[in-house]
C-alpha cells in the first residue's frame, strides 16, 4: 500500500465522523502518468477549508483558511517516513475535535 492508498483508507474510515462534525470531504488523485503524481484531500465546513496535497516524492503541503480571509500554508519535506502521514492526519483530526468550526495548521516538526 502506497501513501496515496493510505490516505484514501484513512478518509474512508473517517468519513462518518467527519460528516457528523459537519465536514464535507473530497479526495482526488492526479493522473498517474505525470511526473511526481499527487493526491489532494479537501475538507470543508462552512467557509473554512483545509487542503492537504501529497506528492509521490513525499513532499506535502497544508493550506487552510476561510473564504475571503488569509490562508495558512505549511510545507513538509517528506511524509512517507513511518510516522509522517499518521502524524499529519492525527493532528488534523485532533485540531477538528478541539476547536469547533476551525482547523488549525499542524506544527512544522513533521
**How many Å apart are CA 76 and CA 61, to the nearest integer?**
6
Tell the residue number behind the cell numbers 485540531, with chain if given. Answer: 95
- Give domain limits for the chain: 3-98
pLDDT at 32: 85
Pairing of strands 60-66, 48-55: antiparallel
pLDDT at 110: 46
Average pLDDT by stretches of 10, the chain with 110 residues: 89 90 91 92 86 93 79 86 81 64 57
DSSP string covering 13-52, please? HHHHHHHHTT-EEEEEEPPTTSSS-EEEEEEEETTEEEEE
CA 97 remoteness from chain centre: 15
Amino acid at each position: 500500500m502506497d501513501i496515496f492508498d493510505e490516505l484514501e483508507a484513512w478518509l474512508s474510515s473517517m468519513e462518518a465522523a467527519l460528516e457528523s462534525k459537519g465536514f464535507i470531504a473530497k479526495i482526488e488523485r492526479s493522473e498517474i502518468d505525470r511526473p511526481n503524481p499527487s493526491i489532494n484531500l479537501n475538507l470543508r465546513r462552512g467557509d473554512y477549508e483545509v487542503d492537504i496535497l501529497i506528492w509521490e516524492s513525499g513532499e506535502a503541503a497544508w493550506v487552510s483558511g476561510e473564504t475571503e480571509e488569509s490562508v495558512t500554508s505549511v510545507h513538509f519535506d517528506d511524509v512517507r517516513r513511518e510516522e509522517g502521514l499518521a502524524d499529519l492526519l492525527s493532528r488534523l483530526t485532533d485540531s477538528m475535535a478541539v476547536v469547533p468550526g476551525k482547523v488549525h495548521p499542524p506544527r512544522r516538526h513533521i
